A and B are shown apart, each in its own frame.
Chain A
């Protein structure tokens, strides 16, 4: 993919705009169903309405980190190595961190009325917090100085290591005795323990947050590509200013860019 194509984003302007509109419509529908149409829970009352955000946010975080892992594998694999995969991985990880932060905050707001506490040192909660900090570390690693290739390789390896925590988070409620309830939908029996309009609202939330993830990934990727291009231009200008245009009018500096790049940050 060329720099110009990268700058257009992953989806292209028209599909991206359509995705944005679809995301907004799905979120509005979620608000209507989640706050007005779905009935309050028999035991938890209205506090259970937080589930329609908490579960989809957790799903979107899993999806984001899964895409980061897939893109990192494609970057590490020599046949498919491309800066596009590195940028996809970085963009997806940042969106995933936002959704993980939301998952933790929403979980805390739900825990206070139903458990009576904001936080517990529970296996699900702790492994999710670890996930949040692992990917914060991944984003910090991407900001360390170095060539684009060294950044891509170390970030991709870190992404593969960080992803190990995702199945630990998901299965923590099965592996250990936890205060957190077991999976309602994606349980070991794949038998959703939720019915009627509440189930529909939950699926609507999953759809809305999936669309939001796709839209945010596209926008964040485009920003990374623009910044990458700007840094390349600045570096080439700096090299030209230092060595002069040369006999070929400075064309020779282009080939040195990748090797000479330093301080590349997303």
Chain B
């Protein structure tokens, strides 16, 4: 992999991680607002 590949992996990976985290919080918040458990089997 050349330099551009590492740069794309870093920037793309960061975007995916941050977006996934925001979506996960939003989904769990929506469930919590409706009084539903968050789907975690431990809870």
Residues of A at the B interface (CB closer than 8 Å) are: 31, 34-35, 45-47, 49-50, 53-54, 57, 98, 101-102, 105-106, 109-110, 112-113, 143, 212, 216, 219-220, 222-223, 226-227, 230, 233, 265
Contacts and interface: CB of A to CB of B under 8 A. Distances in A.
18 contacts: A35-B11, A46-B7, A47-B6, A53-B10, A53-B14, A54-B10, A57-B14, A98-B17, A98-B21, A106-B14, A112-B1, A113-B2, A216-B22, A219-B26, A220-B25, A227-B32, A230-B35, A265-B42
B10 A216 contact: no
A200 to B, nearest CB: 18
A227 B30 CA distance: 11
B7 A230 contact: no
A227 B21 contact: no
A105 B9 CA distance: 10
Nearest to A112: B6
B32 A230 contact: yes
Contacts of B26: 219
Interface string B1-38: 11110110111011001100110011011001101011
Given A98-B17, A105-B13, A223 B6 contact: no
B6 to A, nearest CB: 5
Main secondary structure of the interface of B (DSSP, over half): helix
A216 B17 CA distance: 13
Main secondary structure of the interface of A (DSSP, over half): helix
Contacts of B13: 105-106, 109
A66 to B, nearest CB: 20
A135 to B, nearest CB: 15
B10 A106 contact: yes
B18 A212 contact: yes
B32 A113 contact: no
Contact of B17 (A47, A102, A110, A230): A102
A110 to B, nearest CB: 7
B9 A109 contact: yes
A71 to B, nearest CB: 19
